[in-house]
Structure 1
């Protein structure tokens, strides 16, 4: 049975790789893309989502989300990583289709209520849309199937942060929203840097996507040029970590990941702003800001080769179907 997902996203080069993965895999039913600021501003993110929908003939809805964090000052788009247009500055035709008229958080509320226990929310950008949805309609916590988050870093394998020494980008962009989402009364699984930094798309692997996956492979190769240049100049590696597609891999096959359970809190200000902390030991303390919060799941290990295999298989089948 297919898993129905709403993919909350800030496209974004690795977002595009995740969106196309969700569209390609036969076990996923991509119901909608809800957009958020992050890798690009909200207008660019929404334009990019509509572009993907139109170019690749996707049936999903697109709903435009928020343009700024709940409380903190915006940190600005990640143009150094994703380019000015979010897709590595390749030439893009303007989409001629429109987004759903509802704001993203309302689209999420309406869709979850219309299909109780059927919708998995997958968020691969800042968590502002999800925080607004659960705050305005707490009842959806009992109606959603699962919430899967690409974000955070919990120190496993020494992975602690990528935009500060102790913060991952999606959480750092809106830590207050992340704390709301992680502590809400709904089932959350976090696919953070602890596992996304353990899986790697090499340049050879991305060349294989280009050579075997038809138009969609060529598109991913094209947009990845800018992304790989960033990785090479910043980290001196030939390839990129598998961030957003790892969240889709979890939806497809949770057995690829080892999970740890416990409540999560987010540091919302100061030098450790965006730090994610999971209490995974059953210790008792006089003061404990975790004790009354719902235990959530954090991925701490991954079968990285299996993730690479399912991604390539999905995209190759999808590319061949197009041709």
Structure 2
């Protein structure tokens, strides 16, 4: 089995924590670093949570902290009404940790790691893309050295899904739209796993209860942190919990779960539609426009939800 070296770019976050455990338990994955962004919490909160998760679950990978704000403007308020004040569903957390963050800023950690392992590093990015944009700005050549980037973000209108923080924008893209547009303009190989598929996949209470029963410490932890997250979904009128970040990990492990469409991607960076993601499909010809001379990337438009949920369950509960 080929080993996939992964940098996990994240803002833990309940669903981020679930995705990190998914990566950690996947036998074909080696986590070589965790880089943090603002988003589900402020940067000090998300970095603390990443250190806590790697320490608690024995994930032998450095954690590097990213900036506290997007490329332009202040950081939006953290989504504590979704993930809790501490980002992990308000479960009790320790007052101190043994682990410390890597001294390098997250984007420099990404550059150094990619250059140390050219053609080997996959980046799974499930938060704002500020770190990736800063890495691309500082060292544009790394785009040709990254094996692949899998992004949880965006919404392209498939299956009726357009946005979750505005009618047209998904949270990760909306949180730093300029960074997203710059990243989608890079020549690296990108697959986008957006709301088009993540909101089609849901975990029921019975499913989560079975994880708690059969998944050991990780399964019980998932149950505990999802109590707050599930309550948010219920308050929003959603019967079961959407599977956002873990869908990106599922794509990495088994791309056959998904149907994709290719094209160039632009992000609206200001105005009423800020954060909207738009695909120009490769199979269509249009008059000259702002999508021209942009690289083609893959966007997930459909998913086998039953197989994805089985993959997650089997990975977490494996001895």
TM-score by length of 1: 0.96
* Pairs within 5 Å for 1:1-323: 1-93=2-94, 94-237=96-239, 239-317=240-318, 320=319
1:122-169: CA deviation from partner (whole Å, max 9, x where unpaired): 100000000000111011011000011000000000100000000000
2:265–2:278 CA contact under 8 A, matched in 1: yes
Q: Is the contact between residue 108 and residue 133 of structure 1 (CA under 8 Å) also seen in structure 2?
A: yes
Distance 1:281 1:255 in 2: 21
Structure 1: how far apart are the matches of 2:101 and 2:193? 28
Checking the alignment, whether the CA contact within 8 Å between 1:151 and 1:171 is kept in structure 2 is yes
Runs (4+) off by over 3 Å: 281-287
RMSD: 1.0
Contact 1:72–1:174 (CA under 8 A) maintained in structure 2: no
CA 1:301/1:285 → structure 2, altered by over 3 Å: closer, same or farther? closer
CA separation of 1:300 and 1:285: change in aligned 2, threshold 3 A: closer
Report the CA distance between 1:227 and its aligned residue.
0.2
State the secondary structure of the residue aligned to 2:31: strand
Task: Tell me the distance in 1 between the aligned counterparts of 2:90 and 2:81.
Answer: 11
C-alpha displacement of 1:75: 1.5
For these two proteins, the number of residue pairs brought into alignment is 317
Aligned partners of 1:179 and 1:152: how far apart in 2? 11
How far does residue 233 in structure 1 lie from its aligned partner after superposition?
0.6
Indicate if the aligned counterparts of 2:282 and 2:296 stay in contact, CA closer than 8 A. no
Segment drifting more, 286-295 vs 109-118: 286-295
Give the Cα–Cα distance (whole angstroms) in 2 for the partners of residues 300 and 112 of structure 1.
Answer: 29
Distance in 2, matches of 1:119 and 1:298, equals 20
Partners in 2 of 1:251 and 1:284 — Cα distance?
30
Q: Give the Å deviation of 1:284.
A: 4.0
- Other structure's SS at 1:248 match: helix
Distance in 2 separating the partners of 1:235 and 1:5: 35
Equivalent position SS for 1:134 = helix
